[in-house]
Amino acid sequence: MRKTNRSIVLIGFMGTGKSAVGRLLALQEGWPRFDTDEMIATALKMPISEIFVRLGEDRFREEETAVLKKLEVVAPSIVVTGGGVVMRPENVARLRELGSIVCLTADSATLLERLGRRSNRPLLQTDNPAETLQTLLREREPFYQEAADFTVDTSSLSHDQVAQSIRDVLALSN
Ligand code: S3P
């Protein structure tokens, strides 16, 4: 499934390991890495959690689309996205231009366990995070599937194994 000179775009729900795997792939391939959440936080000069509280989700989504539009990718790169990016068709169209879209998944028990370790996901700051997670997952799953070129289930894999699976599918060097 080799696509020469094409970037790798990581999509998927919160807690599937996009950021860590993105860092690893960038290091292993010696490619630049772009993380839309990091870019939004830099542009608005505040952490994502604060953006949600002070400016609201709608503003965050506007900014997410704006950073993707502005993204200048001149060489094969790793592009890491936030979990909600697939909900806007224009974002998905932009991601497709950039390269191969890889969706990371995990079963909901694994996600809850991983996400429970930290409280930095504004969308899960609800009375019942487990239920919120299920609702969001159900709503988003078809969008992830529609956008992805291929999917890697990370539930029982280390970050290294996930990165390796992606390199195997894309026939990248080890
Ligand atoms: C979001 C996921 C977060 C971040 C924001 C919204 C979402 O990124 O973009 O909190 O809508 O799922 P991660 O997927 O990296 O946690």
32 C-alpha vs ligand 1 centroid, how far in Å? 21
What pLDDT is stored for residue 3 in this prediction? 45
DSSP 98-111: HEEEEEEE--HHHH
| pTM: predicted TM-score of the whole model, two decimal places | 0.95
Structure confidence at residue 174 (pLDDT): 61
Distance in Å, CA 97 to ligand 1 centroid: 22
What does the pLDDT profile of the chain (174 residues) look like in tens digits? 444 448 999 999 999 999 999 999 999 999 999 999 999 999 999 999 999 999 999 999 999 999 999 999 999 999 999 999 999 999 999 999 999 999 999 999 999 999 987 778 999 989 999 999 999 999 999 999 999 999 999 999 999 999 999 999 998 866
CB-CB neighbours of 105 under 10 Å = 21
Tell me the CATH number at 88: 3.40.50.300
**Assigned domain for 130 exists:** yes
Cβ distance 75 to 26 under 8 Å? no
Atom 8 of ligand 1 has which residue's CA nearest to it? Answer: 82
CA–chain centroid gap for 150, Å, is: 14
Residue 2, domain member (yes or no): no
Helix orientation angle between 159-169 and 18-29, rounded to the nearest 10 degrees: 60
Task: Enter the DSSP assignment of 122.
Answer: G
**To 5 degrees, how large is the angle CA 104–CA 106–CA 112?**
125
Q: Is the CB of 48 under 6 A from ligand 1?
A: yes
One-letter amino acid of 153: D
Residue 142 lies in a domain: yes
Residue nearest to atom 12 of ligand 1 (CA): 83
Q: What is the number of domains present in the chain? A: 1
Answer whether residue 1 is part of any domain: no
Tokens found for residue 171: 């026939």
pLDDT of residue 67: 97
pLDDT of residue 97: 94
Residue 174: inside a domain, yes or no? no
Question: How high does pLDDT run on average in the chain?
Answer: 94
Domain carrying residue 37: 7-169
Give residues with Cβ within 8 angstroms of 118, minimum separation 6.
Answer: none
Q: Is residue 160 part of a domain?
A: yes
- State how far the Cα of 8 lies from the Cα of 22, in Å rounded to an integer: 9
Cβ atoms of 137 and 16 within 8 Å: the answer is no
pLDDT at 120: 81
